[in-house]
Amino acid sequence: MRKHRGLSIIAMLVFAFLFIPLFIIVVTSFGENPTIQFPIQGFTFDWYVNVFETNSLIESFYLSIQISLLATILALLVGIPAAYALARYSVKGRNIMKSFFLSPAMIPGVVIGYALFQFIVIQLQLPIFQGLLLGHFLISLPYIIRVVGSSLDQLDFSIEEVAWTLGSTRLRAFVRVVLPNIQAGIFASFMLAFINSFNNIPVSQFLSGPGVTALPTSLMNYIEYNYDPTVSALSVLLMVGTVVLMFIIEKTLGLAKIS
Amino acid sequence: MTYVDLKDIRVSYDGKNNILKDLNLSIEKGELVSLLGPSGCGKTTTLRVIAGLIEPNDGAFVVDNKNLTRVPVHKRNFGMVFQSYALFPHLTVKENIGFGLKLRKEDKTTMNQKIQDILDVTGLGELGDRYPKQLSGGQRQRVALARALVIEPKLLLLDEPLSNLDAKLRVQMRIEIKRIQQKLGITSVFVTHDQEECFSISDRVAVMNNGVIEQFDKPEEIYNRPKTEFVARFIGFENFINLTKQGEQTYTTSEGHVLKTGHRWEDGKQVATIRPDDIVILPNGAEQRTNVIPGKVVVRTFLGKSYQYEVDTTVGKILVNGSKETAYPSGEELLLYFPEEKLILV
């Protein structure tokens, strides 16, 4: 294929534009100066140590892990049966429901955050932890339904019917035959939903409260008062974590299959 | 003696249109019965009713004098082979075959013995540890068959099992299925839209159309004596001639040609039909007599084993197959002779 110079240059520029800010963050996390600075003077791992010594960050990190994990597991428990019903049976208004389940992924985050704030905090007056959990459950659900749904769409349901004819009850056939064959989709949806929930700012921002703060929110609070490279260090750690997760997905399943 | 009995089965998905209308079918023990028909005729629906995958709106389904109409699919103990084979992709051949045995809580030794036996019967011998995606189409077909047979089912149900195979393998596999079915003496229902496949394998054939069985007979009977126009058309009768009754076994066409048939007139039947192969082209100038209609060749096509002519006659277009030796050009005047015993009333 003929190379097109102009296009290559544009592609390089876009890549640089995306990559340079990240690169700068990585570099600043190693600077000795207590304010964020680029280029850096000196080299230190102190800020990484500081991440682990800053209680508010560590606590909210654990909270975020907890919330995201629980929310994603709940979303799996609800989302897999929902996706199954949508794929398997001609449920009335199936297409409308499919687009409805996608809607949280299309509506601006602030709007969802605000709506959930209205509903969960003002109307239901749920405790903060439960509220946060419910919010994250809701934003995770579309990922589960979509990704598991697309796995199910590719599944030949006659394998389920064959299992019935061989003597399986419906539940047993679902567990023994359907689930093992959508494993990849379930795992992928779990990863995507988890990462999305963990990184989500608007919903966490609206639903966090005294003593219960998700990591992105604490991070922003921290920046307001201390503009030091700890934030950069934490960002680098999060990026590395995400990249490792994505790498695992890619290696075990292949991202191409998921989209 | 009747072993499987479908009585007045009606199936409707929307409450208005019937997919199956008062369908009746009796199958004897050890028989292989085919359901033959074009797509949408209800043959697969009938099979799914038998399997228990569809519950009929009305009617009864009886096997061995037990009413199974409301018995759920997993308690029926029927083996089923699907068009897509439906092998479990995450299990090996042995695990696929053992799936039903495991549910029956067989002990390990008996189970392994049964799996090995059925692997031998179906000629899968050494392939037990492979996964379905490592098998060819024909091998997958055998695994699906083995998996259905190993549970010693009361009935074997086959839903177009050969349609995903190439032509050569299809012929091989249908002989194989017939061999295994006879060896095990298992009552079977076979769904297909391919008449050759169906005739070659079946003890009896039910030709279906629009949710109704049009004719249920031995393959030879259906081939030679279709009872309705639909059946005749479906199995290759191409020529249909409207008749008026003259005397016993003598009829006239609208143009006054006299036709005789070896078959008796039944009420409501006034169409005669004949295969293009069965019409004889008489040498030009032959004498006019009964069962002869003159015509003019419109189109000639080459079929390989013969020529086919579309002949314009006073009773309409007639398709005739003529020998390869003589090729009549279009425009040629021909005399067509309809042998009495080949002319069927439908």
In angstroms, the CA A253 to CA A171 distance is 26
pLDDT tens by residue, A54-113? 888 899 899 999 999 999 999 999 999 999 998 888 777 788 887 877 777 778 888 888
Chain A residues with CB under 8 Å of B160 CB are none
- ipTM of the complex model: 0.84
Q: A66 in helix, strand or coil? A: helix
Write down the domain spans for chain B: 2-228, 237-345
Residue B327 φ/ψ region, left for φ over 0, alpha for ψ in the -120 to 50 degree band, beta for the rest:
beta
CA distances from B244 to A69, B131, B256, B293 (A): 82, 64, 9, 16
Closest in A162, A169, A177 to B82, CB measured: A162
CB contact under 8 Å between B80 and A177, yes or no, is no
Q: Summarize pLDDT for B199-251 with one digit per residue, the tens.
A: 999 999 999 999 999 999 999 999 988 989 999 999 989 899 888 777 777 77
Show the tokens assigned to A33.
Answer: 């100066």
Residue whose C-alpha is closest to residue A203's, from A57, A76, A64? A64
Tokens standing for A44?
């230190």
Largest CA distance in chain B: 81
CB-based burial, A83-104: b 16+ in 10 Å, e otherwise: bbebbeeeeeeeeeebeebeeb
Partners of residue B147 in chain A, C-beta under 8 Å: 162, 166
Residue B77, Ramachandran bin (φ over 0: left; ψ between -120 and 50: alpha; else beta): left
Positive/negative CA dihedral, B119, B125, B129, B133: negative
The minimum CA-CA distance between A193 and chain B, rounded to whole Å, is 26
Q: Which CATH superfamily is domain A57-258 in?
A: MetI-like (1.10.3720.10)
* Interface touch B82/A158, C-beta < 8 Å: yes
pLDDT tens across B246-285, in order?
A: 777 777 777 777 777 777 666 666 788 999 999 998 877 6
- pLDDT tens, residue order, chain A (259 aa): 566 888 999 999 999 999 999 999 899 999 888 888 788 888 888 899 988 988 888 998 999 999 999 999 999 999 999 999 988 887 777 888 878 777 777 788 888 889 888 888 888 888 888 888 998 998 899 999 989 999 999 999 999 999 999 999 999 999 999 999 998 889 889 988 998 898 888 888 888 888 888 888 888 888 888 888 898 899 899 889 888 888 887 777 655 444 4
Contacts of residue A246, Cβ cutoff 8 Å, sequence gap at least 6: A191, A195, A255
Helix (H) or strand (E) holding B298: strand B292-302
Q: Write the CATH number of the domain with boundaries B237-345.
A: 2.40.50.140
Instruction: Name the helix (H) or strand (E) containing B312.
Output: strand B307-313
Give the 3-state secondary structure of residue B69.
coil
Closest residue on chain B to A172 (Cα): B103
Single out the residue of B176, B183, B119, B128 nearest to residue B146, CA to CA: B119
B2-228 CATH: 3.40.50.300
3-state secondary structure of A238: helix
* B88 contact residues in A (CB cutoff 8 A): 159, 162-163, 177, 181
Best of A92, A166, A168, A178 to disrupt the B interface by mutation (most B CBs within 10 Å)? A166
Q: Which of B116, B120, B197, B129 is nearest to B162 (CA)?
A: B197
